[in-house]
């Protein structure tokens, strides 16, 4: 998909800081930020609220024609819509996270969201993050980055985020979920998590958010010339 717009693809495992960093970069560069993980969380959340087991592929696929997933932007902030209702807050639970991991393994779900992602990139300069952006969704992105950090580092960030929101969680459980999610994402048959061949590898273990943003900003500037 050759276009005149600029696409920056950021892939990596859960909790690597993709969304937080991408949001900051998009705001500074005045690009549209697309959090594809939120789209999969929305499908997972839709299944949960409909009483469907996210691991039941047939039931999840049968549900797809009855839902509409969309993105809206207010002051540059992405809102995720399910049947025109803003579910941006509802999809950030551990249950929605595991549901997203399950439903994202199904090719019909990936196809369902694929065109939405490509349409946004065809009409806007975007920073898009996810698991298969550089490999599948935007293979012609001008900049591809694979962002990672140690599982412990990523779990600590996720744990801090969750406890700051008043959620009662144990670090051990967050770490176990993170390791399970990594395994699921990298071993699924459809678009497994892996770096694009031409992606730049960036490890943010031990970095502050500011250090990671600065590192990525310099890298993008360099790649875009």
Confidence of residue 110 (pLDDT cuts 50, 70, 90): very high
Averaged pLDDT, 27-46: 92
The encoded tokens of residue 96 equal 């929605």
How many Å apart are CA 14 and CA 162, to the nearest integer? 14
Report H helices in the chain. 18-29, 36-49, 57-63, 94-103, 107-123, 151-164, 171-187, 209-224
How do residues 132-176 score in pLDDT, each as one tens digit? 899 999 999 999 999 999 999 999 999 998 899 898 999 999 999
Give pTM, 2 decimals.
0.81
Class at the top of the CATH hierarchy for domain 8-224? alpha beta
Helix (H) or strand (E) segment spanning residue 72: strand 69-74
Cβ neighbours around 71 below 10 Å, total: 20
How many Å apart are CA 140 and CA 48, to the nearest integer? 34
Confidence of residue 1 (pLDDT cuts 50, 70, 90): very low
Domain ranges of the chain: 8-224
How many Å apart are CA 156 and CA 151, to the nearest integer? 8
Cβ neighbours around 83 below 10 Å, total: 12
Residue with more model confidence, 74 or 13: 13
Is the pLDDT confidence value at 72 over 90?
Answer: no
How do residues 211-222 score in pLDDT, each as one tens digit? 999 999 999 999
The encoded tokens of residue 39 equal 């789209």
Is the pLDDT confidence value at 206 over 60?
Answer: yes
Three-state SS for 166?
A: coil
């Amino acid at each position: 998909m050759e276009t005149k717009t600029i696409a920056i693809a950021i892939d990596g495992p859960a909790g690597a800081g993709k969304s937080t960093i991408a949001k900051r970069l998009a705001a500074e560069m005045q690009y549209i930020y697309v959090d594809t993980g939120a789209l999969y969380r929305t499908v997972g959340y839709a299944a949960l609220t409909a009483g469907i087991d996210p691991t039941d592929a047939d039931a999840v696929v049968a549900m797809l024609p009855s839902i509409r997933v969309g993105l809206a932007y207010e002051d540059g902030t992405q809102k995720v819509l399910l049947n025109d209702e803003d579910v941006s807050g509802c999809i950030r639970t551990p249950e929605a996270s595991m549901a997203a991991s399950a439903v994202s393994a199904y090719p019909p779900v990936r196809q369902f969201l694929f065109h939405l992602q490509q349409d946004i990139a065809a009409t806007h300069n975007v920073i898009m993050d996810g698991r298969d952006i550089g490999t599948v969704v935007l293979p012609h992105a001008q900049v591809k980055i694979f962002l990672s950090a140690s599982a412990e580092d990523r779990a600590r960030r996720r744990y801090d985020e969750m406890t700051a929101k008043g959620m009662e969680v144990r670090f051990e459980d967050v770490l176990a979920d993170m390791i399970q999610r990594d395994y699921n994402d990298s071993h699924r048959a459809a678009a497994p998590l892996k770096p694009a061949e031409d992606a730049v590898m960036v490890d943010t273990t031990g970095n502050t958010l500011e250090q990671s943003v600065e590192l990525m900003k310099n890298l993008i500037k360099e790649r875009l010339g």
